[in-house]
Amino acid sequence: MKHLQALLFDVDGTLADTERFHLEAFNQAFADEGLDWEWDTALYRRLLDVSGGKERILYYWNQVRGHVVDVDGRGVRDTVERVHLAKTAAYEAMVNAGRVPLRPGVLRLLEEAKRHGLRLAIATTTSPTNVAALLRRALGPHWRLDFQAVCDASTAPLKKPHPLVYQQVLRTLGLPPPACIAFEDSSNGLRAARAAGMPTIVTPTRFTAGHDFAGALRVLDSLSGVGVADLRAWHGEPALVH
């Protein structure tokens, strides 16, 4: 097993429990667009199997509400783009208002990892706007300096569970997969990280608690109380523990 050198973090659901705010933002955007759509928690939990906001809207349109006609005659994809922009703006407003805190233990672990010389990276398929809004609010205006690699939807068009975003981060860091630990909250994220060859710690949310996390290094309620010593010990275990 390679010596632990880097921690790679997903964003939505992992660094912050964002999905309930994304759900609220989607519904606000639908209302603003005059669509009679309203996603509830049960439906949104199922839609999370589709990675990416625009992809999620398009899937819902095509698979669930395929009979809906084009809004204002502009075409499905133009409408999806417009709705997603409105949704992103609504979500960013929630973040800027301080409504979306980091999950327990995240900030402490980030700070401890830096003190111990571990490299930090972001591997997400959410939009760069969402990433920047959350981390700017949580870590300050110079948040980007804390991360040696940030790969997101702008760099990785193939969404999780495809491993592309993790492969991009590994190339940027110049590290082999066994030298890293990935942090995820969903089965799609776990599959992406594992396909890239990395041991993965999963901290599910209420939206992902029912997912299959077979193959995870650890499945934890949160990162509260988790320190670098714990990560090094778990990283050195020869067998994966569920």
Active-site residue, 10 included: yes
Sign of the C-alpha dihedral, residues 229, 235, 237, 240? positive
Q: Which of 12, 17, 146, 152 is catalytic?
A: 12
CA angle 185, 188, 190 (to 5 degrees): 60
Active-site residue, 185 included: no
Instruction: Output DSSP code: residue 104.
Output: T
CA distance 150 to 167: 12
Q: In this structure, are residues 19 and 131 in contact, taking their beta carbons and an 8 Å threshold?
A: no
CA distance 8 to 124: 9
Q: Which of 10, 17, 152, 185 is catalytic?
A: 10
Instruction: Output DSSP code: residue 61.
Output: I
Place of tokens 């199922």: 46
* C-beta atoms surrounding 220 within 10 Å: 17
Active-site annotation, residues: 10, 12
